[in-house]
Amino acid sequence: MAVTPRDKTGRLYRDKAKESRDAERFGEAVAMVDKGQAFHPTLRDFNVEKEAIAAAETVLKKKQEEERRLARIEAQQRNLAQKASADQPQEAEKILVALKKDLAADDPYITEANGLLAEAYLRLSEGRVKAKQLAAAGKFAERGLVYAPDHPRMKEIFQRAEIDLTAQKIKDVIAKRPVDVAALGREDAKLKKIAPANRYNTLQSSYIKSLTASIKQTEKSDIAAAHKQRDGLAKVFSALAKVNLAPIPARSQLAVAGIEDVSKGLLTAAQGKFEQVQKDEPGALNLGELRKALSDRKAQAQGMYQQFLRFKQARQANRGKPYLERAIGFWADSLVYQKELKGLTKKITKRGECTTSLAGKGKSTRATCFDDVDGAKGPVLAVVPAGGGSGKPFAIGKYEVSVKEFNAYCQASGSCQAAGGKPDLPVTGISVQDVEGYATWLSQKPGKTYRLPTDAEWTHAANAGGKQPKDKDFNCRVVLQGQVINGLFHQPATTGKKSQNGWGLHNYVGNAREWVRTGSGVAARGGGFKDQLSKCTPTLSAPHAGSPDEVTGFRLIRELG
C-alpha cells in the first residue's frame, strides 16, 4: 500500500512523541500523540506509541520509588548509627524496627545494626557498673544480649548484677519480721542456680550468721517464738537446725489470769499480773501473749479517751461522753476514766423544769427552762398559756434556733452539713426537712416532743395576749433619704431584749422569718430583716415552699406532759 503524504505527516507526530518519551517527558509525548491522532485517526502507530509511553512511565515510577527507598534506608541507617553512638539505643531500636520493613530478613545491615546496638548497651552497662548501679547495669546488659547473645562481657555484667540483686533480695527478706520463709526459699534456690559455688557458699554463710543472731535475739524475749523461728528457717538453711536454744518454758497460770482480766477490761489488774510474771517467770510461754493482749486493749481505750479529750478541750465534755464510756468499756478499772465519768454525771444546774406553772412568765430568766441534750443545754424555752388551738400550755423557743444549736445536731448525727455563719446568728439556708430532722433529734434525747408550731400556735405565742412591747425596735428595714439605716443583716438570736413580748419571746418579729405549719404546708411568719419596719408585725405572713433561703429560720415548740 502506498504511503500517503498524510501518513508521512502522521509519522512525524509519532516520531516527535518518541523523542519526548525517550527524554522522559511523558506529558509532552502524550500531547503529541493526541495531536497526531486528531490529524490521522486511523494510523495504528499512535496506539503502539501510547502503550510504549505508559510502559516507560511505569518503569520510571518504579525506578524513582526504589531510589526514594534506598535514600530513606540510607538516612535511617545514618540516624541509627548516630543514636547508637550517642548511647541512645532505645531510639536506635525504634529506627531498626522501621528499617526492617524496607529490608530483607537476611540483609547484612541488620547484623551490623545489631552490633551497633549491642555496643551501645555495653557502654551503658559499663557506666552503671562504675556508678555501682547494678540493677540498671544488669537491665542494660540483658537488653544488649538480645543483639549479641554470646557477648562475654555483657554476659558477665548481667550475671553479676543478677547475683547481686538476688543476694540483696535475700537480705531484704531476712531483715523483715517475721521472715517470709517461702520467699527466702525461692530466692535462695535462684541464687544457688546462678551464682558460682564459691560465691554462693560465701553468701549463704553470711545469711546463716545473720539469721542465727536474729533467732538468739528472739530467744531473749520469747523462747517459744525463737524455736518456731529456727524450725521454719531450717527448711531453707538446714544448718540453722543446729542453733542451740533454751528449752521452751511452761505456761504461767498468773499470765492466764492476766489474759482473762484483759478480756474483762480489767487492764489495771492485768498490768499488775504482767509485771509479776515478768519478774518471777520471765521465760513463761504465754508472757508474750499477755503483753500483746494488754497493749492492744490499752491502745483501743486510749484512742477513745483521746477523742473524749478533744471534746473536753473544746468545753464540750458532755458531747464527748460516748467516747469516754467506750474507753471505760475497754478499760473498766481505770481510775482516771472513772473520775472523768463521775465529773460528767453531775447534773447541769437548771433554772427549772418546763412546767405549766411557768406559763406567761418567760420574760424573767428565772422562769425559762431547757432540756439536757447529751449533757449539754438544749434550746432555751418559754412556757406560754393554753391557746392557739392547744388546750394546755406549751413551751416554745424563747429565741430563734441559732447556727451553733443546729450545727450541734449535724455534728452529732451526721445527717446534715453544718450551716455557715456566726454561731450566735439565727440559722437560715436550711430546708423544712432539715428542721424536722433537728426536731426529731431533739425529741429523742430528753424523751420529749419537739416540733414546728402551727400557724395558730405561733400567732398565739407571738401576740402574748396583747402584751406587745412599747419599744418596737425590731430588726426590720428602715430607709432614710435613700440610705438603709436598719435591717442590714441578721442580728444574734438572743438580741431584741427591749422588744420582747410579754411572754418573753425575742425577735418574733423581724430578724429571721419563722416557719410555721399550715393546713397546706408551711408559711413564713413575722417578717425578716429585709422587710419594711412598717410591715413588721406578728400578723405578717408569707407563703413558703419549705426550701432553703437566707432570710427564713425557725423556733420550735416543746410539748408539755
- Packed helices 152-175 and 197-221: angle between N→C axes, nearest 10 degrees: 10
Question: Which one, of 129, 37, 119, lies nearest residue 81 by Cα?
Answer: 119
88-101 burial code (b ≥16 CB/10 A, e <16): ebeebbebbeebee
Lowest mean pLDDT among 359-363, 441-445, 550-554: 441-445
How far apart, in whole angstroms, are the C-alpha atoms of residue 126 and residue 120?
10
**pLDDT at residue number 177:** 82
- Can you tell me the distance from the alpha carbon of 110 to that of 422, in angstroms, rounded to the nearest whole number? 78
The C-alpha cell that represents 16 in the structure block: 516527535
The percent of residues above 90 in pLDDT, for the chain, comes to 68
Q: Match 553470711 to its residue by C-alpha cell.
A: 206
Q: Does residue 196 have a pLDDT over 70?
A: yes
Domain 356-558 homologous superfamily, CATH = paralog of FGE (formylglycine-generating enzyme) (3.90.1580.10)
∠ CA(132), CA(134), CA(138), 5° rounding?
Answer: 145
Q: Cell 405549766 sits at which residue?
A: 356
Report the pLDDT value the prediction gives residue 350, as an integer from 0 to 100: 46
User: Which residue is listed with cell 420550735?
Assistant: 556
Helices 108-130, 45-85: axis angle to 10 degrees equals: 20
- pLDDT tens digits, one per residue of 46-76: 899 999 999 999 999 999 998 898 999 899 9
60-67: long-range contacts at Cβ-Cβ below 8 A with a sequence spacing of 24 or more? Answer: 60/24, 60/26
> Comparing 20-24, 302-306, 511-515, which segment has the lowest mean pLDDT?
20-24
Cell of 433: 426537712
pTM over 0.75: no
Mean pLDDT estimate for the chain: 91
CB distance 110 to 80 below 8 Å: no
* Number of neighbouring beta carbons within 10 Å of residue 133: 15
For residues 331 and 262, give the distance between their C-alpha atoms in angstroms, rounded to a whole number.
8
Please state, in angstroms and rounded to a whole number, the distance separating the CA atoms of residues 369 and 209.
77
Ranges 47-51, 235-239, 349-353, 435-439: which has the least confidence: 349-353
- Cβ 455 vs Cβ 543: under 8 Å: no
Q: How confident is the model at residue 445 (pLDDT cuts 50, 70, 90)?
A: low
Query: What is the DSSP pairing of strand 513-517 with strand 522-525?
Result: antiparallel
